[in-house]
Structure 1
């Protein structure tokens, strides 16, 4: 399946329903009457109680509810959907077409196809009565028509507990992908777009419709997407068919590799049967290094089938890149990014590795000390500290931060899910002057499980009125059978600001795996570990980016931006989670209301950044491998140096000598599924962290909750989505030109 052009899916790293029609009550997490400098009071307490109460309930598939109007209705058993009329008050996410159940997906699919057909006719119109608006507006409407269906269906096929919904959503995803593939290769549509955008004469859109810089940038992005999909290739010579065939093979190979990475591991010699989860736990937590090594070696053992699939994927991606006119897949993937070539990426990674060498040396000394091994920090680790020891040592170092303080033993009791959400609401109100409003009674049919809840994001107008609804966030936070385990952000409907195209409030969905209350606990809510708190703040960073990034065109709204920018808002949001200014407003014991002791603030922050040099260098090495595998010509094959040989060569760099070494016979990359989803782009995680560090140091370090800094951050970065380049937005916000050296300095200074 070729890359989607018109359908630019939001990153998850991933529609007309008007919020004002909802006839359910909302309670603000914080109130307009509460001074921003004060702790949220009654409203925040209501939030904590409401969401904590939801977390205590049993999960129930939700197609239709049986009466009741407020949150208390969640405490009753949900009726069997088959025993009632199939019609609900509304459909999933408030989409009317889904009110009668999964059959509504076929209707949505048909409506999208009809809309695209009409827009194709509008784009093709010529003569005096021809096009009456810009090509970018027409194409954004096409993008909107398919994304409103495809994005939502992609979410439903993964999250809905009922198989009939999942199957219907899956069929819709396939049908829309087929539609998009036909648009990707529509040469007439592409030619008309190029003419409209690049013709500076009277026939161009600049002259005809007075288009501006934003229109031109979005048009160029659309042109680039078309070219990435091979629209320019000659159909008569067979190039176009070869490109489509190669894209289809790459999709299938990627899926095959991802499935293989999830396969159970063979048991070590002498063991009867061990699950993958058992091996992972043993590799990270067992006190005996020999057991950890055996578990690691079993789980990450070389898999010839995975090596073969990976090599085929790399070869196919090289073919795709060559057909599209690029030297390598890495050249294709980095073009248009902040670091816009493999050479720039390598300069960033090697420069950062060198800068972090001294920090990694200190970490090596610490790791040896924890293992009782003699040696100076100047020595390479060799096999004294292995890759199988690293997770265990991170756990030891994390515990050491608290120095045995008894109050830290049950620290999660200060982080109930409700309290943590009140902390996020506090940050959002201080920085962006928005309220997060809990919708206590979603309409029948609007959510898919009894514990899914909805938040409306509302601009705070103080005493001037109720405020403007900016968008909605559906929260699917609690475990249930069959639910994916990976935390994720879905765009359900991309926002656009209007009036032309019409205003469209964004809708997003957050999926997390917050723990159920502990076994045997009758009253305790879902309690989060510090890592889970950080993940919650991270995912809400994505959600606020989507909601506040309501651009003119939904094609570039929110997280529909370059990969190196998409993780910046989520990373910045993480940085607020354990700041003392924020902790004191939300970290309270779930039962007593007692605040987290202030003496734990600094250890808690330190515990999130243990062994920072080695941790960061490990990510550098992963990024180097990803870049090298996608730059090699020819790529590794079973007849040439393996992907493991490439990894070992990269790991031999002098500045990386303090990294723990995997044991012989292992190939961790055979389980590294990011090679599929982030092929030649894994380095974007580090680039995003560098940008976030730069923004933090220039705008928030001195006063993290400064409202003027928050407003600038919203207007100059969040609100713009992908309307402007990453470099220009970051430079305007920070006052610094974004160079490789600047990124290295920012990240090295923020360990």
Structure 2
């Protein structure tokens, strides 16, 4: 029997001092009649009311006049590189002054921030902007800043200061504003760059990795060649809708039906074709690669391995994980082996179904705002934009308000698929929170001044999500779950208030970054939280179907374990051996761990885009899924809207970022057997 929605307690009044930027108080209840609620629903679901264009003043992307044309990226890259060079020289000269030595950590963080901000902004624009001129300009800025960052990674003067601060870090008491050298200088722990030849090889190798990585991602997202299905192979299709139309088409044309991987036709054939041959053809087309694609991937893996050996590491995985929680590839593999052993046991029965109200994007964002108000006294509000401020009319701008602190920052939501936009869900940190009161680049800054974060949330919902209720069992869960995940990242970035940007929000280490986002997914499974979606008309809730636990959940998690193991293999010493074959390595792994036998002629690994972005760290997502499950069960599950619990999590975890949990996470990593179990649920 389906569980009823649990009544939601009233939101407590926040004990705070009114802020000039925050005229509205926290919600007294979750009643939908408040302006914030109705505004959010209309903002996302009614095209006539959104976007809310402001006065037609001359501006550019993100409200910056300097980004009125693509040439703005060229100017930004040049000015940033000049500032970075001047700041680098200042850090190197710091030993000449005691006052300057005190500012080294801050200046290292500023150096990292000014480069990362341009790189992250360029990454967003080159993946989302519909204008090719903007894409090319952003891509050029991205490359130039990354190349300069690679130069800094071999700068002896910076290394000496970063190493000195790193050795002093352990004896420094944390005051909630964590002092850490930028993560971009981690490479120095491996080698002292005193030989010009080594630095030259490192620069070339790093640049080659960027080029190969971009090529690999482009190929992974390109359309694949179609499968040619014979007319007689469509006989007796069980699908009487699309299947009947395809049968009529082939009989009329007497030609092979070209079915593209990932299309509705491909999905229908895999699901409904009684003949084996058409299903085999579609499967092969969906999981095959060209020799050129395989070579690009293997060249990327070889170059990474060579770079690691250049700095004295056994492999790229060993170099990458040396200062991470896992410490070594062997430890990461042991953790994954433990998870695999646990998933070899029969899964527990799924939870009872939970009734869902009708959901549109506006209703989901309204529910998220209500949830954040209950937990953090934070709300989402529609914001006005100028036409030049966004790169597409689909983009919506939200203001994030805290009852005590006022305006926290802004979220640009780009949620619909379109030609030229990168696939998948993404969270871009255009500007990260950090303290700027002691930047020492201007004398008019007030005490305790901080950057307000500016983020972009990217998704690729289809046209069906725009104007109709989402009441399908198969269509709804993944889309809403992804929004909850990405908004977990967003709140992490918005609430984070650290002195240094490289430990704040999504700029923190991979070891920590996924915990807040995965924890948010658990809230979606709570009947109490789902009540926040209710419009107040209880009859509407009863008119829709049930949301069931995904029947393929355990299969999906098993696949994630497989991908994490493959990530370790591809970045291990094995990848550096002569004649290494990435397809053969995938086949061996599938033979020993896979649920479905490997099919000769396939080479799915070229579609695993995270091999570039997560190289050797893909297992961290699984690890933090286990940790998030434990946090949910022990802290939030019994009373998920508890204000006291939410404020403690906000104050002690989200606000202080990576530095607040690393000790506890390291301890959890050593308890692999205990950690492995909760991830199943």
TM-score by length of 1: 0.74
User: Alpha carbons of 1:196 and 1:675: their partners in 2 closer, same or farther (altered >3 Å)?
Assistant: closer
Report what 1:617 is aligned to: 558
2:382 aligned counterpart, secondary structure: strand
**Take 1:50 and 1:503, find their aligned partners in 2: how far apart are those partners?**
29
Q: Deviations over 1:103-144 (max 9, x none)?
A: 333332333233223323322144358626421111112122
CA contact (8 A) 1:689 1:747 kept: yes
Q: RMSD value over aligned CA atoms? A: 3.6
2:430 aligned counterpart, secondary structure: strand
Report what 1:118 is aligned to: 86
Stretches of structure 1 that go unaligned for 5 or more consecutive residues are: 1-24, 58-69, 79-86, 364-396, 462-466
1:426 aligned to 2:370? yes
CA deviation after TM superposition for structure 1 residue 287, in Å: 4.8
2:630 aligned counterpart, secondary structure: helix
CA contact (8 A) 2:436 2:451 kept: yes
1:218 aligned to 2:218? no
**Take 1:289 and 1:549, find their aligned partners in 2: how far apart are those partners?**
55
CA contact (8 A) 1:283 1:296 kept: no
User: Alpha carbons of 1:253 and 1:737: their partners in 2 closer, same or farther (altered >3 Å)?
Assistant: closer
How is 1:382-397 mapped onto 2 (pairs within 5 angstroms)? none
CA contact (8 A) 1:47 1:422 kept: yes
**Take 2:304 and 2:669, find their aligned partners in 1: how far apart are those partners?**
33
User: Alpha carbons of 1:307 and 1:728: their partners in 2 closer, same or farther (altered >3 Å)?
Assistant: same
User: Alpha carbons of 1:316 and 1:427: their partners in 2 closer, same or farther (altered >3 Å)?
Assistant: same
CA contact (8 A) 2:379 2:401 kept: yes
CA contact (8 A) 1:562 1:726 kept: no
1:672 aligned to 2:672? no
CA contact (8 A) 1:516 1:525 kept: no
1:138 aligned to 2:107? yes
**Take 2:43 and 2:208, find their aligned partners in 1: how far apart are those partners?**
48
State the aligned residue count: 621
Report what 1:247 is aligned to: 206
Report what 1:169 is aligned to: 138
**Take 1:295 and 1:509, find their aligned partners in 2: how far apart are those partners?**
35
How is 1:440-589 mapped onto 2 (pairs within 5 angstroms)? 441-461=384-404, 467-497=405-435, 499-501=437-439, 502-517=449-464, 524=468, 529-587=476-534
Counterpart selection for 2:382 from 422, 426, 438: 438
1:695 aligned to 2:639? no
Q: Deviations over 1:706-735 (max 9, x none)?
A: 12221222223222223355343687xxxx
Report what 1:661 is aligned to: 597
Report what 2:541 is aligned to: 596
Q: Deviations over 1:39-82 (max 9, x none)?
A: 6744312321232113x79xxxxxxxxxxxx96659xxx9xxxx
User: Alpha carbons of 1:551 and 1:73: their partners in 2 closer, same or farther (altered >3 Å)?
Assistant: closer
Report what 2:17 is aligned to: none
Counterpart selection for 1:180 from 145, 149, 152: 149
1:91 aligned to 2:75? no
CA contact (8 A) 1:416 1:526 kept: yes
Q: Deviations over 1:498-556 (max 9, x none)?
A: 543441111101111233358xx9x7478872211111111111111111122111122
CA contact (8 A) 1:541 1:573 kept: yes
1:419 aligned counterpart, secondary structure: helix
**Take 2:409 and 2:134, find their aligned partners in 1: how far apart are those partners?**
25
Report what 2:322 is aligned to: 335
CA deviation after TM superposition for structure 1 residue 581, in Å: 0.9
**Take 2:187 and 2:497, find their aligned partners in 1: how far apart are those partners?**
21
1:274 aligned to 2:243? no
CA contact (8 A) 2:408 2:494 kept: yes
Report what 1:102 is aligned to: 70
User: Alpha carbons of 1:737 and 1:213: their partners in 2 closer, same or farther (altered >3 Å)?
Assistant: farther
**Take 2:669 and 2:287, find their aligned partners in 1: how far apart are those partners?**
42
How is 1:617-656 mapped onto 2 (pairs within 5 angstroms)? 617-633=558-574, 635=576, 639=579, 642-653=581-592, 656=593
**Take 2:521 and 2:561, find their aligned partners in 1: how far apart are those partners?**
21
User: Alpha carbons of 1:525 and 1:415: their partners in 2 closer, same or farther (altered >3 Å)?
Assistant: closer
1:277 aligned counterpart, secondary structure: coil
Q: Deviations over 1:678-727 (max 9, x none)?
A: 22222122112111111111111111111222122222322222335534
User: Alpha carbons of 1:222 and 1:650: their partners in 2 closer, same or farther (altered >3 Å)?
Assistant: closer
2:410 aligned counterpart, secondary structure: strand
Q: Deviations over 1:379-403 (max 9, x none)?
A: xxxxxxxxxxxxxxxxxx99xx98x
User: Alpha carbons of 1:442 and 1:725: their partners in 2 closer, same or farther (altered >3 Å)?
Assistant: same
2:380 aligned counterpart, secondary structure: strand
CA deviation after TM superposition for structure 1 residue 737, in Å: 7.8
CA deviation after TM superposition for structure 1 residue 36, in Å: 5.0
CA contact (8 A) 2:73 2:138 kept: yes
**Take 2:652 and 2:666, find their aligned partners in 1: how far apart are those partners?**
8
Report what 1:295 is aligned to: 282
1:437 aligned counterpart, secondary structure: strand
**Take 1:443 and 1:73, find their aligned partners in 2: how far apart are those partners?**
5
Q: Deviations over 1:402-423 (max 9, x none)?
A: 8xxxx99xx8x81111101001
